[in-house]
Structures are given as structure tokens and as C-alpha cells.
Structure 1
């Protein structure tokens, strides 16, 4: 049950923003097994002057950055995370985003760090989330 923040230039059209969000959501579904009805994304357009980034950090040539922060329950294996990154970039490339402009960060927490309504910790009640390693 991730929540995803997407920060990008306000010069991108509403249709492009929606395609980017859908590309991220689809990658979460395909790579990690997030259910199709688990859709919680925040898209924030910014004046291009407010998106500060190094244009060549780590040998990547950025022009029109799209920041993607995915907050999710931890415990997924590295292979799933790496697959998620690849799928996000592939999907966003289809949406017209240059691969070098996609900047992704995952922030992990635990089941009891989530309440999705009614003041309850639904994930604690559920006991697990898709793609997470079984606890020993």
C-alpha cells in the first residue's frame, strides 16, 4: 500500500502528468504485486526554477527531472526494487520522459507506520503486504 509523490515541472501537461502517474502505478503493480485498486499518488507540478538538480551527477545527463518518491512497507528483496526501477523508467519512457530524467527514491517503514482511514492500522491487521519477505 505505497504512497507515491511525483514532483515535476509545471510545463508538463495534465495528460502527461497522468500518464507518468499511471506508469509508476503500473510498475508498482507489475514489479511488487501492488493490487490494482491500491492507487495513492500525489502529483505536484513546480515552476522549473524550483526544481534544482545537478545536470550530470553520477554520469547521468538530466534536462527535465521527474522526482519519484515511493513510501512503502520495507522487507522486499533487492531484486524486486531493481525491477521496480527498470519498470518505472520503461513506463515513463513510453509516456515521453527521458530515462535520464527519472530520479527515484524508496523510503521504507513498517506495518504499524500506516493508517489508511478510521484511525486503524489496517496493515497490522492484515499482517503482510505483497512482495514482502516472510518474517523469521
Structure 2
């Protein structure tokens, strides 16, 4: 059920965009033990002048931010595994590991509306 947003500074071909989204799901599935139905991700392409990145990057066009919103409860080791899996998976697309920023935001289950407008704490 986590929600992923991937912000990038360049347009990729459609096939690559699909593979990037799939790679994010694969990282989450492995690190957090999710099933195939837990797919909630979006890829947002920004014009470079609208998406700042740290100075001095070798390939600033490859700078990528990954934001993950999820219900609390994953261990630090699971998060570490997630970070490594994301960085490793993005290397396939030419994105250097030091060009990736990952943020996990833990949101209490009562603050998620799912399955037709129910509070996640009532369903999960």
C-alpha cells in the first residue's frame, strides 16, 4: 500500500518510464515484503529549471528524488534494504547512486483513506 512518487529532471522513453516504475515496486516488494497488488506509484517529469538539484553533480539531468509514503512499522534494516534496492535498481537506467535522494514518510493508518473511503486503521 505504500505510495511512491519519483521526480526526475529528464524525459525518458515510455518503455524506460514503465521499467523505472516497475523497479520501484520491485525494491518495495523485496524490502517491505509487499505483494503484486500493492502498486501505487507515479513518475513526475520536471523541466530542469523547475527542479533544483545539488550543485556539482556529474550528470545533473539524472538527479532523482524518490518519496515514499507508508504506514509506520518497518524496521530500520528494512528501510536500509529499500534504499539500497532503489539505488541499485536505478543504476540500470544510468542514474548514479549519489544522484538519488530517498525520503520515507510514515503516516499513521488513520490518515489513509482506502478501499472506498475507509480509514486504513479500520481495514488493515
Give TM-score, length-normalised by structure 1: 0.81
Alpha-carbon distance in structure 2 between the residues aligned to 1:82 and 1:62: 25
Alpha-carbon distance in structure 2 between the residues aligned to 1:14 and 1:100: 24
Structure 1 residue 122, shift from structure 2 partner: 3.8
Match of 2:117 in 1: 119
Equivalence map 1:100-111=2 (5 Å): 100-111=98-109
Which segments of 5 or more consecutive residues in structure 2 lack a partner in the other structure? none
Structure 1 residue 10, shift from structure 2 partner: 3.4
Equivalence map 1:13-24=2 (5 Å): 13-24=13-24
Structure 1 residue 18, shift from structure 2 partner: 1.8
Alpha-carbon distance in structure 2 between the residues aligned to 1:13 and 1:47: 15
Alpha-carbon distance in structure 1 between the residues aligned to 2:95 and 2:19: 10
Question: How has the CA–CA distance of structure 1 residues 91 and 35 changed in structure 2, closer, same or farther, with 3 Å as cutoff?
Answer: same
Alpha-carbon distance in structure 2 between the residues aligned to 1:33 and 1:17: 23
Match of 2:80 in 1: 82
Structure 1 residue 14, shift from structure 2 partner: 2.2
- RMSD (Å), alpha carbons: 1.7
2:101 aligned counterpart, secondary structure: strand
Question: How has the CA–CA distance of structure 1 residues 91 and 13 changed in structure 2, closer, same or farther, with 3 Å as cutoff?
Answer: same
Aligned residue pair count: 123
Which segments of 5 or more consecutive residues in structure 1 lack a partner in the other structure? 127-136
Give TM-score, length-normalised by structure 2: 0.88
